[in-house]
Amino acid sequence: MLDKYIVADQNCTTLPVRCGCFYFETSVLLPPRSDRGTGRSVRLQPAEDNTVRGFPAPAAKPTTSPIATNGQLFPWNRMRLPKTVSPVHYDLSIHPNLTTLDFTGVVRIQLDVHEDTSTIILHAKQLEVSNVLLLAPEGVRPLQVLEYPGFHQLALLSDSVLTKGRKYEVQLEFAANLSDSFHGFYKSSYRTSSGEVRVLASTQFEATFARGAFPCFDEPAFKANFTIQIIREPQHIAISNMPKIKTVELQGGLLEDHFDTTVKMSTYLVAYIVSDFMSVSKTSQHGVKISIYAVPEKIDQTAFALDAAVKLLDFYDDYFDIPYPLPKQDLAAIPDFQSGAMENWGLTTYRETGLLFDPEKSSASDKLGITKVIAHELAHQWFGNLVTMEWWNDLWLNEGFAKFMEFISLDITYPELHVDDFFLGKCFEAMEVDSLSSSHPVSTPVENPTQIQEMFDDVSYDKGACILNMLRDFLTPEAFEIGIIRYLKRYSYQNTVNSHLWESLSNICNSDDLDEGRMEHREFCSKRKLPSAASKWYSGREVRLSQERYLKAEDPSLTEGFLWQIPLTYMTSASNTIHRFLLKTKTDVLYLPEEVDWVKFNVDMSGYYMVHYVGEGWNSIIKVLHHNHTALSSNDRASLIHNVFQLVSIGKVRLDTALELSLYLSKETEIMAVTQGFGELVPLYKLMEKRDMAALENQMKAYIVDLFRGLIDRQEWTDSGSVSQRVLRSYLLLFGCVRNYPPCLNKATQLFKEWKDSDGSKSLPVDVTMAVFMIGARTPEGWDFLFEKYRSSLQMSLRSRLKTAMAFSPMQDKLKWMMEQSLHGEVMKTQDLPDVIVTVSKNPHGYKLGWDFLQANWHTLIKKFELGSSTISYLVSGVTNQYSTREMLDEVRRFFSSLTEETGSEMRCIQQAYETIEENIRWMDTNLPLLQAWLDRHSRRVAHEDL
């Protein structure tokens, strides 16, 4: 699943598992041993302890004696299901009624019995279950049913023993309302251009929501085959994981579609949709039928996604050396969808913005986003669907790999998108969360549904991807590919844990199953001698290294006792050769063969760690950036900007040192370094916007505008250039307009007037529309015009930009109205409510409105978006993470401490909100005087230079 709101994570890493963020220091910076060739043979050991201090792992708490809804003792007292029986095959018949908005169904489950038992425990949530039968070899008989809603469990009690080794079947009838959230089997709707509202029903079962659609063993390790039938009215179509094999006419004019039996898979991957969608199709080179489904009036926006899906599925088929195992792959654009997309096997589902593309109105970033989300979900067809984590504690095995493969696949299939320019940002976002003591290892114990939902965060996605990138760089791309193909082939249709991956990546060329591998893999291992991770020492200049956990908390005990194996890379002023060294100890000494002016560790930031250059180290780095910044790659420059400002937060570097480094940005042109510069500098004045300190705030804003003035002035108001250049243009012109930089402000004002005067018919360059709309939203007339275009447009990315611009208006009445309308979901979709609230909260005119709205509607929000979900986390973080006063910290604490566990008081995101505000307060208290003094000195320096 690709979550729309995923953006951050960090808490470093022993190479394999116990990832907690770390940094290391160099005194005189000068490292390692030598370039040790391309392949490396290394034994990767998973960490022994997956807990993080300050955030205890959840207890596996059996209750003493659960009481069923009828007052009887419930015969099972754990959240996880027993392993006495397991499902082999489900026959599932579903009949959704899109008029009454409910559904009925029957499921027959074939079981294997592993231990003698008279009790079957499975899941059901808010279902009316009836007529429960045991189909045994000796006949059919009813079963007693007990329900324990606390664990979403049913107990089916037999009056005779089910014997180990024999097969049985159970049959259950069930009924429920279509969910009005975005999970389970839920109602979606859309409005046609004529104003007609049409209803459809769709599924979203990850992580624990299949149990709300039919009784099942709703844990990923209980894989089974599914044969599905769907009853519908003639004006609708039904699609599911597998192709339809026949349609049967029923009484009353209804139709029943029968779908082919699935491969063996987990319940969370089951999917079905009943709708009036239309489709377009193509066949891949490997013979797989690929179809895009969308509402009829938007089917003409599917061509790009269809071509991308064909190209990417063919790529994965070849790259993984495992044929895609299903005869078809559908991609469906759902009008109401909480996540970004979902990898259901054979029927991936998406937000409309994640699939629909209009060449005339969609931006370069839209194209990049759509290809990335399709690449992510199709990667899951192997990582997650074919090979599935055994339990949700290892979710990163699914999501980290899919996020990582987005970049690997697009780099090869769509080189013109320059996707590498955007990968590093994922690691920076991961590190932001990972620096909090409330972060967690990528693999961490979870038990209940809320904790499971919380695993869908930046640690599992972005940090997981960055760790895999570090492993790929360390092992070499060829060796890494051998290892993951071995992993997929060995565990196809099975469930895995972390250690299975490390074993597959270890001693890659010593594997018996290489005989089954591709020719190029055997050649790689026969031709390359893979040296050990240690090589000979060089004599020369001494460099001292030490490592510790990077953590923003003030408690030093939280940084003690952590030791990682860090795959260091470095280059020097004397050579652009990349040298490597595996740092296994707390401290070490390296020697360089010659005197150098500077050393840059973590080349291209391929490793998930930060570097602190002590002594004169940062000054030498600043010198090279000021005099010859292109001596370092764009990624190296971006990582230096990130590292130096992050190290200010923990007192390792003075703020004025970081600001001196930032001065070089006036010469920067590459997207990653520019956006990282903005990413470190803009939050400084955003903190001030929440305080009464306009003078310093405006001084900081003026410094940033002045820093990037030259680059902004060079931007054309067109759609020319590469994807990275176009994304950067949008970013720079939007910033210039928001900051009232006169050339941007005047041009955007002129373009908005022309566009409005033409009633929206004038064609604007797509890359500049966000800046133009943002200026237009500043007046009541302009805002109303934007809203009218929002309401009438069928183009999803255009609607998204209009919505964001309107939510950044200075008019508070409009901001309140937007949040209320998004909550009701009629004029503005409720799926967009989190974006609206967070955008309003980032708006200097609306930040308090966002916080007030979150408090007033908390109980509605957690019902709609589910406790523990990344959407709720995104809301909590997005609304509160720019507060920096003790008064606001107290107010935030008062509200969240008033909640109960059932309403979210134990969620990790709340602890993260406290930590973030506390860190903001510390930063302001420590650094505001330094910032004021430096800006004053800089102003005098500039004035002197101008004389």
Q: Are strands 328-334 and 347-351 parallel, antiparallel or unpaired?
A: parallel
Cα(392)–Cα(79) distance, integer angstroms: 13
CB 459 within 8 A of CB 9: yes
CB 128 within 8 A of CB 175: yes
Q: Are strands 85-97 and 566-572 parallel, antiparallel or unpaired?
A: unpaired
Distances (CA, A) of 7 to 75, 113, 871: 42, 43, 11
Cα(185)–Cα(176) distance, integer angstroms: 9
Cα(676)–Cα(421) distance, integer angstroms: 12
Task: Find the farthest-apart pair of alpha carbons in the chain and give their distance in angstroms, rounded.
Answer: 101
Cα(222)–Cα(207) distance, integer angstroms: 13
How many other β-carbons are positioned within 10 Å of the β-carbon of residue 196?
A: 8
CB 188 within 8 A of CB 96: no
Q: Is 376 annotated as a binding residue?
A: yes
CB 258 within 8 A of CB 245: yes
Name the residue among 630, 607, 700 with its Cα closest to residue 659.
Answer: 700
Which ranges constitute the DSSP H helices of 808-857?
Answer: 812-824, 833-842, 847-856
Name the residue among 179, 175, 229 with its Cα closest to residue 202.
Answer: 179
Q: Is 938 annotated as a binding residue?
A: no
Any idea of the CA torsion for 555, 557, 562, 567, to the nearest 10 degrees? Answer: 30
Concerning whether 377 is annotated as a catalytic residue, the answer is yes
Cα(306)–Cα(288) distance, integer angstroms: 13
Report how far apart the first and last C-alpha atoms of the chain are (Å, whole number): 58
Q: Which of 377, 406, 660, 670 is catalytic?
A: 377
How do the residues of the chain divide into helix, strand and coil, expressed in percent and rounded to 5?
45, 20, 35
Name the residue among 442, 421, 471, 550 with its Cα closest to residue 25.
Answer: 550
Which pair of structure tokens corresponds to residue 694?
């306009």
Phi, psi at residue 18, to the nearest 5°? Answer: -75, 75
Cα(718)–Cα(715) distance, integer angstroms: 8
Would you call 94 helix, strand, or coil by DSSP?
strand
Q: What angle do CA 398, 404, 406 make, to 5 degrees?
A: 105
Q: What angle do CA 143, 146, 151 make, to 5 degrees?
A: 135
Q: Is 399 annotated as a binding residue?
A: yes
CB 681 within 8 A of CB 583: no
Cα(434)–Cα(314) distance, integer angstroms: 35
CB 103 within 8 A of CB 94: yes
Cα(611)–Cα(644) distance, integer angstroms: 8
Cα(400)–Cα(430) distance, integer angstroms: 12
How many other β-carbons are positioned within 10 Å of the β-carbon of residue 52?
A: 25
CB 595 within 8 A of CB 604: no
Cα(832)–Cα(794) distance, integer angstroms: 15
Binding residues: 376, 380, 399
Active site residues: 377
Binding residues for Zn(2+): 376, 380, 399
